[in-house]
């Protein structure tokens, strides 16, 4: 699969098989700490296919780029809803951090052979019992936060203090929107699938405040999927 760069160097080409290291450099955070969002959406901004999951909008190239973004990250951050809906797997190249207000991480079985540092869960005290029931014998680290509203600034601050200075949030839309509204996000990585879904959740459902973004990079593959990096202006 050939990927063409449209911005900032039109005409530059990358081969998905042989140029992975070069592509990884394109997705290296320009500084740290750095929090980016990574989503795939249809042209009309819908974040899931007719089955309610994002996988149907993804592609082989999108999944490779997802892997490169994770490789450049110290942690993947997700909401509990994404764990339940998407059947989340632990990233191979980095750690997983989950935010939950209820402790419900049912619907997916994490491996029981991991180290506790591989899976960190942020939740209020009221969610501890249900969390223990959901994870069972899966090793994990719990960081208790005042509730019921999760302080996302405290979540990012805690991850940074653990040496996780480059973080990618992969959803869900509500968590991503709250991170933007809190002024915590530096970048949006968005894959645009060349389709119109017509109905479903937007990839930033619930965003309260408008933001101005600057396009720093745009790639296109042979299947007309677009891969953009947008910087959020302070």
More confident residue, 208 or 131: 131
pLDDT of 199? 75
pLDDT band at residue 83 under the 50/70/90 scheme: confident
Is it the case that residue 50 has pLDDT exceeding 70?
no
Flag whether the pTM goes above 0.85.
yes
Q: Which CATH number fits domain 75-164: 3.40.430.10, 3.40.50.970, 3.40.50.360, 3.50.50.60?
A: 3.40.430.10
Angle at 181 between CA 178 and CA 187, to 5 degrees: 90
Task: Enter the DSSP assignment of 204.
Answer: T
Is the dihedral angle over the CA atoms 156, 158, 161, 166 positive or is it negative? Answer: negative
pLDDT of 188? 97
pLDDT in tens, 86-137: 777 788 889 999 999 999 987 677 888 888 999 999 999 999 999 999 998 8
SS3 147: coil
pLDDT of 64? 93
Alpha carbon distance 158, 175 (integer Å): 17
Percent of the chain at pLDDT exceeding 90: 65
pLDDT in tens, 5-43: 999 999 999 998 899 999 999 999 999 999 999 999 999
Task: Enter the DSSP assignment of 161.
Answer: H
pLDDT band at residue 208 under the 50/70/90 scheme: confident
Alpha carbon distance 100, 19 (integer Å): 38
Is it the case that residue 48 has pLDDT exceeding 80?
no
Q: Where are the alpha helices (DSSP H) in the chain?
A: 20-26, 60-71, 80-86, 128-135, 152-161, 173-181
Is it the case that residue 180 has pLDDT exceeding 80?
yes
Instruction: Give the mean pLDDT of the chain.
Output: 90
pLDDT in tens, 153-169: 999 999 999 999 999 99
List the domain boundaries for the chain. Answer: 1-19+40-74+191-234, 75-164
Residues in contact with 195: Cβ distance below 8 Å, sequence separation at least 6, in sequence order = 42, 43, 57
Please say whether the beta carbons of 29 and 36 come within 8 A: yes
Residue for token digits 């101005």? Answer: 212
Give the pair of three-digit tokens for residue 100: 């939950």
Is it the case that residue 202 has pLDDT exceeding 90?
no
- φ/ψ of 121, rounded to 5, equals -120, 125
């Amino acid at each position: 699969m050939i990927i063409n760069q449209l911005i900032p160097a039109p005409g530059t080409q990358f081969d998905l098989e042989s140029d992975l290291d070069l592509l990884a450099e394109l997705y290296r955070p320009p500084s740290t700490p750095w929090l980016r969002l990574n989503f795939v959406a249809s042209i009309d901004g819908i974040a899931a296919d007719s089955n309610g999951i994002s996988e149907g909008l993804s592609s082989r190239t999108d999944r490779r780029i997802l892997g490169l973004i994770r490789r450049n990250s110290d942690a993947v951050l997700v909401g509990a809803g994404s764990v339940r809906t998407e059947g989340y797997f632990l990233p191979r190249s980095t750690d997983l951090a989950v935010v939950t207000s209820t402790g419900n991480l049912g619907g997916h079985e994490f491996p029981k052979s991991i180290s506790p540092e591989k899976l960190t869960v942020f939740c209020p005290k009221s969610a501890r019992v249900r969390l223990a029931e959901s994870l069972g014998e899966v090793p994990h680290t719990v960081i208790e936060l005042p509730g019921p509203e999760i302080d996302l600034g405290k979540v990012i601050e805690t991850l940074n203090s653990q040496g996780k200075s480059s973080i990618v949030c992969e959803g869900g839309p509500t968590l991503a929107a709250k991170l933007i509204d809190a002024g915590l996000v530096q970048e949006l990585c968005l894959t645009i699938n060349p389709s119109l879904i017509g109905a479903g959740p937007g990839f930033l459902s619930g965003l309260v405040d408008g933001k101005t973004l600057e396009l720093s990079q745009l790639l296109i593959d042979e299947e007309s999927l677009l891969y953009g990096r947008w910087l959020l202006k302070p």
